[in-house]
Structure 1
Amino acid sequence: MKFDYKEFHIDASPLDEGGHHYARAKIHRRGPKGGDAVEVKYSGDLGDYPSDADAIEASQRWVIQWCDENSA
């Protein structure tokens, strides 16, 4: 799942592997006036969840907290 939050562009797509759904996220800071976005944080695995929806929800919670703590 990709979305924008504050000055960040988020990719909170889970990793589906062997019946497991791993929450993870990449956070990019949007470039000025259409410039390239720069990756600022990669979460690594945030846990194993029973479904994609649960993994996405966990990623979103983590991302929003990180962005709130690290926004300009």
Structure 2
Amino acid sequence: MHFDYQQFHIDASPLDEGGRYYARAKIYRRASASGDAVEVKYSGDLGDYPSDVDAMEAAQRWAIQWCDENSA
């Protein structure tokens, strides 16, 4: 799942691995001059979940919290 939050673009797509879903997120910021997205943070695995929806929600929560703490 991709979405925008504050000045960030977030990819909260879970990894499907053998019936378990791993929450992970990549956070990008748009470079003001070029408009290209620049990755600023990768979560790594945030835990495994029984469904892709659960994993995506966990990744979204983590990303939003990170953005709130690191927006400037």
The TM-score, its normalising length taken from structure 2, stands at 0.95
Alpha-carbon RMSD across the aligned residues, in angstroms, is: 1.0
Give the residue type in structure 2 aligned to 1:41. K
Q: Distance in 1 between matches of 2:36 and 2:4?
A: 15
Give the paired residue count.
72
In the TM superposition, residue 63 of structure 1 has moved relative to its aligned partner by 0.4
In the TM superposition, residue 30 of structure 1 has moved relative to its aligned partner by 1.5
Give the residue type in structure 1 aligned to 2:48. D
In the TM superposition, residue 31 of structure 1 has moved relative to its aligned partner by 2.0
Which residue does the alignment assign to 2:63?
A: 63
Give the residue type in structure 1 aligned to 2:8. F
Identity %: 81
Q: How does 1:34-49 map to 2 (within 5 A)?
A: 35-49=35-49
Structure 2 residues without counterparts, runs of 5 or longer: none
SS at match of 2:16: strand
- Give the number of the structure whose residues are more often helix, by fraction: 1
The TM-score, its normalising length taken from structure 1, stands at 0.95
In the TM superposition, residue 60 of structure 1 has moved relative to its aligned partner by 0.6
